Amino acid sequence: MIDLKVLREDPEAVRASQRARGEDGGAVDALLSADERRRSAVSRADTLRAEQKQFGKQVGKARGEERDALLAKGKELAAEVKAAEAEQSEAEKELDQAHRALPNLVDTAAPVGGEDDYTVLEHVGTPREFDFTPLDHLDLGVRLGALDMERGAKVSGSRFYFLTGIGARLQLALLNLAAAQATEAGYSLMVPPVLVRPEIMAGTGFLGAHASEIYRLEEDDLYLVGTSEVPLAGYHADEILDLSAGPRRYAGWSTCFRREAGSYGKDTRGIIRVHQFDKIELFTYCAPADAAAEHQRLLAWEKELLAKIEVPYRVIDTATGDLGTSAARKFDTEAWVPTQQSYRELTSTSNCTTFQARRLNIRYRDENGKPQVVATLNGTGATTRWLVAILENHQQADGSVVVPAALRPYLGLEVIEPIA
């Protein structure tokens, strides 16, 4: 939810943000009038309640006929209060709905436009020239005994897979590397629940436009998370944090589940786009004033990790129209995938400012000891998809794959050889 004070003081800024996202400006005016209605309803109900309270005290003292008269009048007042309270709660419900319907305000520094209007901030490394025809990650994975899509489909359907043998070990090595770096950087490593309650899922902003992406367990009214951002954001819901020692940083290690609805036919080969994968997710709670700097730090940590797997990549500043509901700004890193001759997203870091925290009621005490809403940010540590970039970029003519130096201590191998 956005800050209603900002809305009241500068509705035009909110409308501009909506336009930048390519969304409806009418939602802004709906929210403004809902806010107006709620305030007048609250004020009416407050006045009546005050009157009734004073009145109730007189009844307690009165006796006899006087008491009977007061009781009659009291009944009237009670009915009025009840009506005013019903009006108030109706107005509050409407406000909440309108409030939650509005996505976060975009950062004015983010490039305006649709999916393809991102800005490339930098290129790191140079795509390798192959003197042989490189195999894609699926062919490589099968030859190395690392990946089995067919049995994944047999057991669970399309977009499911088994990481087998060295594939499973490679993923563990990668996630351990990421977990170790995150721990060193001051993140607390967390293994969170991957099933969450509706209010937590809604609080992180995933039940709006992207609800169809999410698995829901109807019987239990729980959602499977698409990233541990969700449980990590919920971790401090309804709390007032002490941030006097600096931001709270968590690294979540979890499996992630995505329905990939609407992506039929896209990336059907291999493990680029799958229903289930593993990820280390970086998550920060900090004072809103520190959020932009923390966002840069998250990006820097992602780049540090990418350097360790030694793949060429670029960094993009995502356009406003392609931002998630909660994000004000988002930087993606995209690794070069040789067999696709293109860059594919490996990490994504979003500054959600106070948007999620306002929904989840997460605050901190400012220097005056007053509760204020915190800012939340998230970024990718490492994911299953990284295996694609590692395998393809480090393959050799004989079908073996050189293990990047930083991964060797975690895998215990310098080269992964084909099994047959």
Partner RNA sequence: GGAGGAUUCGCAUAGUGGCCUAGUGCGCACGAUUGGAAAUCGUGUUGGGUGUUAAAACCCUCGGGGGUUCAAAUCCCCCAUCCUCCGCCA
Select from 9, 294, 269 the least CA-distant residue to 140: 269
Q: Which residue from 19, 49, 128, 273 is in contact with RNA, where contact means CB under 7 A?
A: 49
CB-based contacts of 296, cutoff 8 Å, min separation 6: none
Burial call 168-188: b when 16+ CB within 10 Å, e when fewer: ebbbebbbbbbbbbbeeeebe
- Site size toward RNA (CB under 7 A) is 25
Select from 168, 137, 105 the least CA-distant residue to 325: 105
- C-beta of 2: minimal distance to RNA in Å? 13
Catalytic residue among 294, 348, 358, 363: 348
Q: Decide if 67 is catalytic.
A: no
SS3 194: coil
Tell which positions 350-409 bind RNA, by CB under 7 A.
Answer: 363, 371
- C-beta of 349: minimal distance to RNA in Å? 29
Asked if 33 interacts with RNA (CB under 7 A), we say: no
Asked if 57 interacts with RNA (CB under 7 A), we say: yes
Q: Could you give the CA distance from residue 83 to residue 49 in angstroms, rounded to a whole number?
A: 11
Catalytic residue among 345, 365, 400, 408: 345
Asked if 240 interacts with RNA (CB under 7 A), we say: yes
CB-based contacts of 29, cutoff 8 Å, min separation 6: 11
Select from 101, 77, 105, 87 the least CA-distant residue to 42: 87
- Dihedral Cα 94, 97, 100, 105, nearest 10 deg: -50
DSSP 8-state code for residue 347 = E
Asked if 43 interacts with RNA (CB under 7 A), we say: yes
Task: Kindly tell me which of 54 and 108 has the beta carbon lying closer to RNA.
Answer: 54
Contact mark string toward RNA, 291..320, x via CB under 7 A: ------------------------------
Q: Decide if 44 is catalytic.
A: no
Residue ranges for the known binding site for L-serine are 227-229, 258, 281, 378, 380
- C-beta of 28: minimal distance to RNA in Å? 18
- C-beta of 205: minimal distance to RNA in Å? 20
- C-beta of 75: minimal distance to RNA in Å? 4
Q: Decide if 385 is catalytic.
A: yes
The rounded Cα 221 to chain-centroid distance in angstroms is 20
Task: Kindly tell me which of 166 and 374 has the beta carbon lying closer to RNA.
Answer: 374
Task: Kindly tell me which of 10 and 122 has the beta carbon lying closer to RNA.
Answer: 10
Task: Kindly tell me which of 73 and 123 has the beta carbon lying closer to RNA.
Answer: 73
- For 55, phi then psi, to 5°, come to -65, -45
CB-based contacts of 146, cutoff 8 Å, min separation 6: 140, 163, 164, 165, 166, 167, 168, 170, 387, 391, 416
* Residues facing 224 on adjacent strands: 195
Q: Decide if 158 is catalytic.
A: no
Q: Which residue from 13, 27, 32, 78 is in contact with RNA, where contact means CB under 7 A?
A: 78
- C-beta of 98: minimal distance to RNA in Å? 14
CB atoms within 10 A of CB 371: 11
Q: Decide if 248 is catalytic.
A: no
Which residue, chain included where needed, has tokens 């990336």?
A: 267
Asked if 157 interacts with RNA (CB under 7 A), we say: no
SS3 114: coil
Per CB under 7 A, residues contacting RNA are 39, 42-43, 45-47, 49-50, 52-53, 55-57, 59-60, 71, 74-75, 77-78, 81, 89, 240, 363, 371
Catalytic residues: 258, 273, 345, 348, 385
